[in-house]
Structure 1
Amino acid sequence: MRRQKVSDLPETSTRSAMLALSLLVLLSWAIYAHCFAVVTYILSLPTYIEAAFSGLSLVNSTLNNLTQSSDPLVNFQIYEPVFTPKEEGKYGCVHTMTLMEKVFENTYGFPFVGTYKPPPCAFNRVTMNFTVRVKGEQFDRMGIMYLGDIEVFRTTTSEPTPDGIIWTYVKEMDQYNTLWKQEQKLIFDMPNIVRGPYTGPLITTLTATFFTVPQNRQVADEILPISRGNSGKDEGSAFSVPSDVAKVTYSFKSKYNKAVVSLSACGQQREEFWYNAVLTSDADTFKRRTGDSLVRYSPFREVQLLIDGKLAGVSWPFPYIFTGGLVPGIWQPVVQIGTYDLKQHEIDVTPWLGYLSDGKDHEFQIKIVGLNDDGKGNATLSDTVEGWWVISGTIFLFNSDGPTISQPEPPSIQAENPRIEVSSSKSTTSTGDPESLTYSIEVSRSLSISSSSGSWAQDLSFHNAGSLTDEGRTQAITQSTKGNDTSKSGYSREYTYPLSVNTTWSKPSAGSLSLSGSVSSGLSLSITGPSVFPNGIQNFNLDSPALMPLDTSTQEVQLSPINATAPADMTASWTITQSGEGKYFDTDADDQSYSFGSHRQDFAFEGKDGSAGVGGRSWEKYTRSVEVVNLTVVRDETSLEGETIAVPVTRDVQAEGGGMVSILGRLACRWGGLV
């Protein structure tokens, strides 16, 4: 197997004489200590001397301790196997390269910047391996990888334990083959701070493996970004909406016959918990007691794609819960659905191709909206939201063997305003202070866009019922999002996102915070037809080993082809359920916060033929069921194509005296106004 390493671009900033001297001293100390991680840290020091000196000893100490730790807790996301051959042979030239080795410490404004060069052999499949180690105290962080200005991977990190954690995620990446075949500027933007109470640098390794499979699927011939286009400044390119206007302009030639736009969006700050928001008219219900308002614009969010100001499609977001969210102890070592790979939602814009191919400039815009209400049971879509969302989009253009679309025909658009029903009620204490708030929001929408070149239709429904009691200290929500997307191309996507959250807050003493909570969530997803993104089924048409996400080195297991009677274009189906409960404590006495909890997750991935559910066949491919109590995996059952396979079980942390997770208490910052 051939290996090569992507070269790091030099730092663009200059160092002062004082900083240069400190680097020499530190380098000498690093050589003496034989600590490669320290050298990595030194080479990636930020410009600011203050940051370098205030966090330096903390980073070096943490890197030393983590490097010497031989048994970090293995965190993992449950997902289907990803095929990656190790040896050259029937899969051509198997070529693995290191894309990035980076310690993210004080990296706000300082992403990794490197140059990717294609491998010296042909390929049609790419898989990527991202491994992270972290120890101490740290928030969860978001990371985005770009090839040029195009976002290709979005992830979040796990909050660490004092003894350290490690995780690996393997992702299929052949949807970007047209980018992989050219030299690219590679940017990985993962802002982090190692200073003061934040003691956890993120030690990362990113590799890619290139190879050839006989069952080659169609991928885009050209890929364009809907982004800020900041790669020329060595910066990430995602928009921060609503402060940014997420808008780009393109003109197209009449050489394409299919076009798809993918949307990537997730909330930050107060919008991270958008599903806990209330109607704007109720946001100040408990403000007299807490001094703060609840999150506004209702718990409904819609990501809109507009072409020349007209609605082309929507995405109703999945309710991701990052590892510091709600009760952090629930998410160790098993993370919530999708934590390490925040998926994109695709919208077929082929019906617009004739209109777009007139040689004129056309505007693509992404917006995020909620609901505005008048306090009388009436609501409309809002123009903004509270906080901000990290948003980007990608345009995939295809030129297959069929005829290109050149007739300048505008599409027919049927997209009425969504049907919205809202209600709320309040009760008061004997003294007249607000005691409780209950609310209900229902939204449904249908849209259809068609022309002689194609059609796109979406039917969606949303419901959220919530309550805040005990003067806002206890909140309970039940939410469901359902959708069905269909394209004339044969692509369809049917999905359901259920969510239930219960949290209770208290302040046992001055300077302390206590939280108990439970959460259950799920994902039911079926994808049929030519998706832009790999659907995982193609891995089971290969008679070769695949890498399983079971431990830090990814366990190798043998796959076998799907039954010969199974159709090649079968539906890929995921059914995932998750439930957990936990407690969280934060005290000023020892400047520490503690969390513990339990978690169960059940995962099933299968292939179905077109008539499955009405007498059709289905093929169970991969299942896994895991239960965790206080960091310890107490049950882990996995099957591959109906056969049970061995699964490594995490060490018994509780027996070693470490039954609680020590985690930064960012919840006190998020929710301090409610206690």
Structure 2
Amino acid sequence: MFTLNSQSSVGHNRARTMPTSSAPRLLFLCFTLLSHFHSSVATPRHLRLSVQDIATVEAAQPARHRAKAKTTFFEVDRPLHPPRGSSGPCSTLLLSHSFALTLTKPPVTTAYSPPSCLRGAGDVSLAVLEWRADCHGVQYDRIFGVWLGGAELLRGSTAEPRPGGVTWSVHKDVTKYTSLLATGNSTLAVYLGNLIDDTYNGIYYANLTLHLYFHRKAQSAPTPAASAPADLIVPVSRSQPLDDGLWFVVQNGTDVESTRVTVPANAYRAVLEVYVSSHYSDEFWYMNTPDQNGPFREVTVQLDGDVVGAVWPFPVIYTGGINPLIWRPITSIGSFNLPTYDIELTPFLGKLLDNKEHEVGFAVTNAQNSWYVNANLHLWLDPKASTTAGGLISHDAPKLAGGINSHSLDGIDGEYRATASRNISATGWVSSSRGNITTTFAQRLNFANTNVVSKNGSEQTINQTIDAHTEVGGGGAYAHQLHHSFPLYIFLGGNGSGTSSQRLMRKVQIGFVESRSGAVAGTSTLRNEQVAEAVVVLRDDQVAGASWRMHQVYNYGASNGACYVRNVTSVGYDVLFDHDEASCGGTARR
């Protein structure tokens, strides 16, 4: 019988029983909800196909797709190239490990020392962290994280294997972590919470490699301070030993997870880089109904109890989410390499430059169990002075605004609309050998979500948009503007209900749109958009077949002449069309 399964997966990655969320309903609700609204709709945590259903679909594939050869899954991203004149790569295998029954066990650790070719952080023109893995057998997608000295370098989800096996790789630019990479006597930690039992026997075999490229001495020029990597990175994460990753686990809307940090006395800039991912009841938070605290989520960053910034996360869909067939072989945006979010803390340095510990905390508005959050505090230090000074001029973080309007005539079909908005700003000055510089950090965030249930609860349509504008202004050369837009459309439905033959449909349209501008970095734009759908055919409650397709366009351009365009289409496991243009001067066909 066809089932929608809720077994352990990347969204249910911890085996031990977690406390039931005691979070209040949506904190800013302003509506009266009919108690039976959505009573016939499958809840988001059930949006996964069972192992038996996937096996039936695989058996129905053409003979060429039932071969024993491994299938390569891939996330579309632009390739990483070192600046002209760079030497390298100098490649070092950091870790090779097989992740079998690793759930509720400590991360795998190994001692880290800088590669012999790495003489100093300033010599590096590009650093690339490569995660390459494969898996055979039966397994769900799992979340994994990589930390160096307690600072997270990479977070992603695994691919779900096929009978012949699956392989995939991630190449992440980690140049901004060069001060960490150049530090000796550190610990590398990798967590991948995998489950092995009578049904799930897939073991993930992973290699982690660091590739370094270097400036050529004769051609190198000093890197502008505004674009140079931080001199020091302070981890804002949990400490070992653990039975999970180094991330904090936020379990409900009142939970605040925090740690204490100390900032060196000669810091002149501070940026908090936040990693976040959603799991369990909130894996599909954007589809949550009002009785599940609604569809709005934000991660608030707190400094000594005050909200100093907010992250409205991109809705990453893991490789097993909605319908895992959709993400084969082209995976969802951000699934293998989750995005991070920067909060400028420079205006608050006047508070932090007192040689005392300060509490950095994280909360998730309206959260259900659970969210994994941690961060890295990037600090730039004055090489010509042992101390700097600063002061906070203004800080404004009004309460979140928004609400939900709900309407249903029969207690089953109906719709609700959720909106939210927030503005946060702070201005402060820092005096160093670079002069007395005033920095302003401002965020303008808007959210809209419409959830429509129709056909007696058999169809559900989600339309959601997140717009986030961040501006760092003032006299500093690191002033910049960043705008994100995350459109999302999901349709769940079908036809033939109550008959011996049925078609279950899933449609997803999702986009990651970004524009950046800065005095030193120049301008860049990215439009990364996917349109996908899957149909599962049932006869007498048995899976009789399935079809799926994906179309993705990735378009990046920058004022320095860099660009990358890729247009790719797949039907089933076949990639039918794949064009890319890496130099904007010619096109390569795959």
CA distance, structure 2, for counterparts of residue 159 and residue 595 of structure 1: 17
Q: What pairs with 1:463-612 in structure 2 (closer than 5 Å)?
A: 463-488=448-473, 489-504=478-493, 515-529=504-518, 569-584=521-536, 596-608=547-559
Q: What's the offset of the Cα at 1:396?
A: 0.7
Q: Aligned pair 1:111/2:107, yes or no?
A: yes
Cα 1:447–1:633 change in 2 (3 A) is same
Read off the aligned partner of 1:605 and give its amino acid letter: Y
User: Greater helix share, 1 or 2?
Assistant: 1
| Structure-1 residue corresponding to 2:446 | 461
| Structure-2 residue corresponding to 1:26 | none
Q: Give SS of 2:283's match.
A: helix
CA distance, structure 2, for counterparts of residue 346 and residue 403 of structure 1: 26
Q: What pairs with 1:317-332 in structure 2 (closer than 5 Å)?
A: 317-332=313-328
Cα 1:629–1:306 change in 2 (3 A) is same
Q: What's the offset of the Cα at 1:491?
A: 2.5
| Structure-2 residue corresponding to 1:539 | none
Cα 1:594–1:350 change in 2 (3 A) is farther
Q: What's the offset of the Cα at 1:136?
A: 2.9
| Structure-2 residue corresponding to 1:221 | 231
CA distance, structure 2, for counterparts of residue 222 and residue 99 of structure 1: 21
CA distance, structure 2, for counterparts of residue 425 and residue 500 of structure 1: 20
Cα 1:586–1:99 change in 2 (3 A) is farther
Q: Aligned pair 1:241/2:241, yes or no?
A: no
8 Å CA contact 2:107–2:242 kept in 1: the answer is no
Which deviates the most, 173-182 or 592-601?
Answer: 592-601
Read off the aligned partner of 2:199 and give its amino acid letter: P
Q: Aligned pair 1:419/2:401, yes or no?
A: yes
CA shift digits 1:606-650 (9 cap, x unpaired) = 0037xxxxxxxxx461100011111111111111222444454xx
Q: Which has the higher contact order (CA 8 A, sep 6+)?
A: 2
| Structure-2 residue corresponding to 1:14 | none
8 Å CA contact 1:149–1:236 kept in 2: the answer is no
| Structure-1 residue corresponding to 2:73 | 75
Q: Aligned pair 1:439/2:416, yes or no?
A: yes
- Pairwise CA RMSD: 2.9
CA shift digits 1:89-121 (9 cap, x unpaired) = 953564211111111121111532211211113
| Structure-2 residue corresponding to 1:160 | 161
Read off the aligned partner of 2:148 and give its amino acid letter: L
| Structure-2 residue corresponding to 1:137 | 138
CA shift digits 1:305-344 (9 cap, x unpaired) = 0111111110100011111111211111111111111011
Cα 1:414–1:586 change in 2 (3 A) is farther
Q: Give SS of 1:159's match.
A: coil
Read off the aligned partner of 2:516 and give its amino acid letter: I
Cα 1:368–1:636 change in 2 (3 A) is same
CA shift digits 1:432-459 (9 cap, x unpaired) = xx22130001111112101223210011
CA distance, structure 1, for counterparts of residue 167 and residue 540 of structure 2: 29
Which stretches in structure 1 are left out of the alignment for 5+ residues?
1-68, 284-295, 371-384, 429-433, 531-567, 610-618, 649-675
Q: What's the offset of the Cα at 1:584?
A: 3.9
Cα 1:201–1:126 change in 2 (3 A) is same
| Structure-2 residue corresponding to 1:45 | none
Q: What's the offset of the Cα at 1:233?
A: 5.5
CA distance, structure 1, for counterparts of residue 166 and residue 233 of structure 2: 36
Bigger-Rg structure (1/2): 1
Q: What's the offset of the Cα at 1:127?
A: 0.9
| Structure-2 residue corresponding to 1:24 | none
- Normalised TM-score (structure 1): 0.69
CA distance, structure 2, for counterparts of residue 96 and residue 631 of structure 1: 32
Which deviates the most, 484-493 or 410-419?
Answer: 410-419
Q: What pairs with 1:81-230 in structure 2 (closer than 5 Å)?
A: 81-83=79-81, 91-92=86-87, 94-108=89-103, 109-121=105-117, 122=119, 123-124=123-124, 125-181=126-182, 182-213=184-215, 214=220, 216=223, 217-230=227-240
8 Å CA contact 2:96–2:206 kept in 1: the answer is yes
Q: What's the offset of the Cα at 1:386?
A: 1.5
8 Å CA contact 2:482–2:514 kept in 1: the answer is yes
Q: Give SS of 2:86's match.
A: coil
Cα 1:90–1:518 change in 2 (3 A) is closer
Q: What's the offset of the Cα at 1:132?
A: 1.4
Q: What's the offset of the Cα at 1:594?
A: 6.9
Which deviates the most, 90-99 or 221-230?
Answer: 90-99
8 Å CA contact 1:227–1:246 kept in 2: the answer is no
Aligned residues: 495
Q: Give SS of 1:583's match.
A: strand
Q: Give SS of 1:441's match.
A: strand
Q: Give SS of 2:408's match.
A: strand
Q: Aligned pair 1:354/2:343, yes or no?
A: no
| Structure-2 residue corresponding to 1:612 | none
8 Å CA contact 1:465–1:479 kept in 2: the answer is yes
CA shift digits 1:384-438 (9 cap, x unpaired) = x21200111111110146878744634411121232142001121xxxxx22130
CA shift digits 1:106-144 (9 cap, x unpaired) = 111153221121111324132111111123321111110
